[in-house]
Amino acid sequence: MALTKEETASLIKKYGKNEKDTGSAEVQIALLSARIKDLTAHLKKNGQDASARRSLFILVGKRHGLLSYLQANDMDAYAKLIASLGLRK
């Protein structure tokens, strides 16, 4: 379920300003989106896994908060990120 180091590094490289930029909202949203995608796939196979469902809801809430922050502060980056990740909002 967890992202591998290679997957994390590629997301940071794609959405960050440099290889060490792990704290920007864009990178955090991209990492959360990847984890959400993995958890969603897990829950499709294991529908009764309540702890995974709770974790999914927590991650979606964190991503929602970060998206709201990004939308309020940098609309261009928000629009670019939404299109790149294929999110609807």
Per-residue pLDDT reduced to its tens digit, 1-48: 689 999 999 999 999 999 999 999 999 999 999 999 999 999 999 999
61: its two tokens: 């809430």
In whole angstroms, give the CA distance from residue 18 to residue 12. Answer: 8
- Give the predicted TM-score (pTM) of the model: 0.94
Question: What pLDDT sits at residue 75?
Answer: 97
- Can you tell me the distance from the alpha carbon of 38 to that of 29, in angstroms, rounded to the nearest whole number? 14
In the predicted model, what is the mean pLDDT of residues 53-73?
98
Mean pLDDT across 56-60? 98
Integer Cα distance of 81 and 67 in angstroms:
9
Mean pLDDT score, 55-64: 98
